[in-house]
A = this chain, B = another copy of it.
Amino acid sequence: MRNTSPANVRVARRGTSREINRQIALNLIRTRQPISRADLARLMDTGRGAVSVLVNDLIAEGRVFEGATGEAPRGRKPKFLYLDSRRRCVVAIDLRPTRSFLMVTDIVGEPLVGMTSFPTERDPDRLVVELAGRIKDTLERHPELGRCDGVGVVVPGMVDRTGTRVLFAPRLGWHDVAFQEPLAARTGLPVVIENAGKACALAHAWGVQGEAAAPADFVFLSVSDGLGVGVVTNGQLLRGRHNAGGEFGHIPLALDGPRCACGVEGCWEAHVSNLATVSRYLGRELDSGKPIPAEVAALTVEDVISRSRQGDALAVAALRATARYLGSGLAAVVNAVDPARIYVSGEITSAWDSLAPIVRAALDERTLEPSRGHAEIVVVPAQGLPRLRGAAALVTTPAFAAPVVA
């Protein structure tokens, strides 16, 4: 149930119905392609005539094209419709504390140019110059990509509601940094930046072709250098007043726990990040105040996982502890937002077969009755490149959004 916003009303104009139905048709083509006009009409529960007009409109705009003729058991064969993603692309960038990633995708997030990676330049000004250069290089080296619709950047930190400034990214050492405008100016392209967890949640909320559609209430967890969390409720991303909503990474798990990059102690992130797991394996306490010891930096979670597979008892214990903390923190998330599903991504998911029961047990221990045991946990494998797809989704989804009315 939605209220009409008394301050900022959006009256339905003469063309509003058309606009609504055009976006519905476009989204049905996006999610069900290939599809015929007749099938669209059935899905939309309206006449074929009305749909034809909408589709021809979309074709004229270059958003959809008519492709192969389909097969039918009887009667005239349908002409299939496809989303027109030809000669258009999107640049996706995943900024991480030590290493960053760049990929070019089509408008539904499918990779067109394979991922490249490079060490992260932590000075914002120099980073903008480097990124602009890499984007320009990649696009020039692949003229077949066509027009670039924009650049999506995910960052490990909070971004303001207008999407122009990085408010706080402790792991990058950034503090109210203007990032969107400089990069847009240097590249001449539209640039969208967003917190990594929120971007991943957004991508899942919009559904990826072939995969099962995401429910209206879910949580996305990105366990890597930090802990990115994105929350979707009522089918919409939870942003809050300053776009800092859903930041469950910094809820307290233990008041006397390890020191977090954000400054306080005992945050969930400080218990479950890759760095936390590696530190725990090495028997060192994580303290973000000091630089990361070389010994810790040299080892990755993947190393810990492979050692645990080889029977290293310390590695097994470190991973199990992380799993238990993951579940305890998730309990707070489940009580707070009551999600139907929890997506988990990150390097640690490669050991999920052995960790899942531990996470589940810790989760169920502290969840309230109605949702206990009901939140399905789904692993998002790293091969799917969820963060880069999230970055691409930042650019591509606005064109598919439902018009704002009432």
Contact = CB atoms under 8 A, between A and B. Distances in A.
A178 to B, nearest CB: 15
A24 B4 contact: yes
B401 A402 contact: no
- Residue from A2, A43, A366, A401 with most neighbouring chain B CB atoms (10 Å): A2
Interface in A305-337: 332, 335-337
A284 interface: no
A379 interface: no
Give me the 5 closest cross-chain CB pairs, A-B, nearest first. Answer: A240-B338, A402-B406, A12-B17, A245-B338, A241-B340
A401 B241 contact: no
Interface of A: 1-7, 9, 11-14, 16-18, 20-21, 23-24, 27-28, 31-32, 43-46, 158, 160, 167-168, 205-207, 213, 215, 217, 233-248, 250-252, 254-255, 262, 264, 332, 335-340, 366, 368-371, 374-375, 397-398, 400-406
Contact of A368 (B247, B398, B402): B247
B245 A233 contact: yes
Given A241-B338, A245-B338, 7 more contacts: A3-B205, A4-B23, A4-B402, A217-B245, A241-B374, A245-B336, A251-B332
A383 to B, nearest CB: 25
Per DSSP, chain A at the interface is: loop
